[in-house]
Chains A and B, each alone.
Chain A
Amino acid sequence: MSIIAEISRWAIPAFLLLVPLAAYLRKVKVYEVFVTGAEGGFWTAVKIIPYLVGMLVAIKVFVDSGAIDILAYLLKPVFGFFGLRQDLTQIIPLAIMRPLSGSGALGVATQIIAEHGPDSFLGRLASTMQGSTDTTFFVLTVYFGSVGIKKYRYALKLGLIADITGLVASVYIVSKLFG
C-alpha cells in the first residue's frame, strides 16, 4: 500500500524529468516540440464543449428533479425479490448516481458514510462502490466528444455492464468480508 502510494507521488515528477531528458539525448529540440504538442490542448478542450453541455444538462435535470429517489423507491421490491438484506435498499441512489455523475456519486457516498459510519456495512459498501468504476457517462461524453464521434455503437452498453458488475461484485465482497 505505502509502496503504491509512493509510486503515485513520484510518477509525475519522474515523467516530467525523464521524458524531456530522453528526448534531449536523442537530439529532439525539446522546448519547440513541447510547444507544438501543447497547441493541441486548446482545441481538444473546446471541441468537447457541445458534448459536455448536452450531457450535463440532461444529467443535472434528472438528478436535481429528485427522479433518483422515485426510481430507488420503485426498485426496492426487486431487492426483496432476490432475498437480499433490507438495508441494501439504501445504496440504490448511489448505484444509480455512480455512472451519471462523479461529483454527485461522491456526495451520496459521503452522506451514506456520515449517516451510517465509515466502518458500518453500508459505509464500507459505499466506499467500495465509489472506487470500483469510473463515471461512465462522463468518460464516454468527453472521449467521444474530443474526436467528434456521435454514434457510440455498443460502448454505452459496455460501460453499463461494467457498472452493474462492479455493483454486484461490491455487494458480494463486502458482505463476505465484513458482513
Chain B
Amino acid sequence: MVNAVWLFLLAVGIIVAALTGRIDVVTSSAMAAAKLGVEVAISLIGIMSLWLGLMRLAEEAGLVRALARALEPLTRLLFPSVPRDHPALGAIILNISANILGLGNAATPFGLKAMEELQKLNQTRDEASEAMCTFLALNTSALTLIPATIIAVRLKADSGNPTEIIGTTIFATGCAMTAAIFADYLFRRRKGGRL
C-alpha cells in the first residue's frame, strides 16, 4: 500500500501542477523537501543521543524491566508476541507515557528505541512485525492529555476559553485509539494475511 500511496502523492501533485500552469512548483518543492528531510534527521541527533543515553542508564539500573513488569497485564494483551521481560516493552511504555504528557521530544527517541528492540525479535528483516504494527497503531493515534500547540494558537487568536477543546480532543483521540487497537486485533487474527 505504501508504494501506491507514495506514487499517488507524487504523480497527482505533478499532474495538478502541470494542469494549473505551475510546474515550477514541483522542482522547487522537491528540492526543498529533500533538504528538509536531512535537516529534520540531523536535528534529531542531539535529542536522540540524550534520551538513548538515559535509556541505557535506566536499563542497566533495571528500571525499564521493572516498568515493563508493572504494566504486564496490559502489554501482554497488546503484544502477545513479545517475551515478558523484553526491554522493548519498557521502551514502548515510556514512549506512550511521553506522548500522553505531550513530551514530543522525549517520545520519539523512546519510540525509536522500542522499534530497535522489536526489530531484534522480528523474523523478517525488511518487513514489519505484528508487534510493530500494534505499536505504531497506538503511536499514530497518540493520546495526548494537553494539546499544548493548538492551545497556544487559540490563546493568540483571543479565544474566550483556549482550553475548552481539551475534553473534545481527549474524546476524539480516545475513539481513534480504540478503533486502531480494534482494527489491529482483527488484522492480527487474519493470520499471515498480507495486506
Q: Tell me whether A162 and B140 are in contact in the complex, defined as CB-CB below 8 angstroms, given that A7-B101, A64-B29 are known contacts.
A: yes
B147 touches A131 (CB 8 A): yes
Within A43-96, which residues are at the interface with B (CB < 8 Å)?
Answer: 44-46, 48-49, 52-67, 70
A65 touches B16 (CB 8 A): yes
A174 touches B168 (CB 8 A): yes
Q: Which residue of B lies closest to A67 (CB)?
A: B16
Q: Which residues of A contact B115 (CB under 8 A)?
A: 143-144, 146-147
Question: Smallest distance from the beta carbon of B118 to chain A beta carbons, Å?
Answer: 8
- 1/0 contact trace for B50-62 toward A, CB 8 Å? 1111111111111
Contacting residue for A139 out of B126, B140, B195, CB 8 A = B140
CA distance A55 to B128 in the complex (A): 18
CA distance A144 to B128 in the complex (A): 8
A-B contact number at CB 8 A: 356
In this complex, the member of A25, A41, A59 whose beta carbon has the largest number of chain B beta carbons within 10 angstroms is A41
CA distance A16 to B44 in the complex (A): 18
A38 touches B50 (CB 8 A): yes
Interface residue count on the A side (C-beta < 8 Å): 101
In this complex, the member of A41, A49, A65, A156 whose beta carbon has the largest number of chain B beta carbons within 10 angstroms is A65
Q: Which residues of A contact B153 (CB under 8 A)?
A: 106, 109-110, 113, 118, 127
B75 within 8 A of A: no
Q: Which residues of A contact B56 (CB under 8 A)?
A: 33-34, 36-38
- 1/0 contact trace for B128-148 toward A, CB 8 Å? 100011001101111011111
CA distance A149 to B128 in the complex (A): 6
B176 touches A165 (CB 8 A): yes
B119 touches A57 (CB 8 A): no
CA distance A39 to B52 in the complex (A): 8
Q: Which residue of A lies closest to B177 (CB)?
A: A162
Q: Tell me whether A147 and B119 are in contact in the complex, defined as CB-CB below 8 angstroms, given that A41-B49, A155-B133 are known contacts.
A: yes
Question: Smallest distance from the beta carbon of A176 to chain B beta carbons, Å?
Answer: 9
Q: Which residues of A contact B9 (CB under 8 A)?
A: 58-59, 61-62, 100
- 1/0 contact trace for A96-115 toward B, CB 8 Å? 00001000001001100110
Q: Which residues of A contact B93 (CB under 8 A)?
A: none
Question: Smallest distance from the beta carbon of A54 to chain B beta carbons, Å?
Answer: 7
A166 touches B137 (CB 8 A): no
Contacting residue for B6 out of A55, A142, A143, A166, CB 8 A = A55
Q: Which residues of A contact B48 (CB under 8 A)?
A: 40-42, 44-45
| Residues of B in contact with A (beta carbons under 8 Å apart) | 1-2, 5-6, 9-10, 12-14, 16-17, 20, 22, 25-26, 29-30, 32-34, 36-38, 40-42, 44-63, 98-99, 101-103, 106, 108-109, 111-112, 115-116, 118-119, 124-128, 132-133, 136-137, 139-142, 144-150, 153-154, 157-169, 171-180, 183-184, 187, 194-195
Closest 5 CB pairs of A and B: A37-B56, A131-B147, A41-B49, A38-B53, A41-B48
**With A33-B53, A40-B49, A127-B147 given, can you name 11 additional A-B contacts, CB distance below 8 Å?**
A20-B54, A30-B57, A53-B34, A55-B37, A62-B13, A119-B159, A127-B153, A130-B150, A153-B127, A153-B195, A165-B175
25 contacts between A and B (CB under 8 A): A23-B63, A28-B57, A33-B56, A41-B46, A41-B49, A41-B109, A42-B49, A44-B112, A46-B41, A65-B14, A65-B25, A66-B20, A66-B22, A119-B159, A119-B160, A127-B154, A133-B141, A140-B136, A142-B112, A157-B1, A158-B140, A166-B173, A168-B175, A173-B171, A177-B167
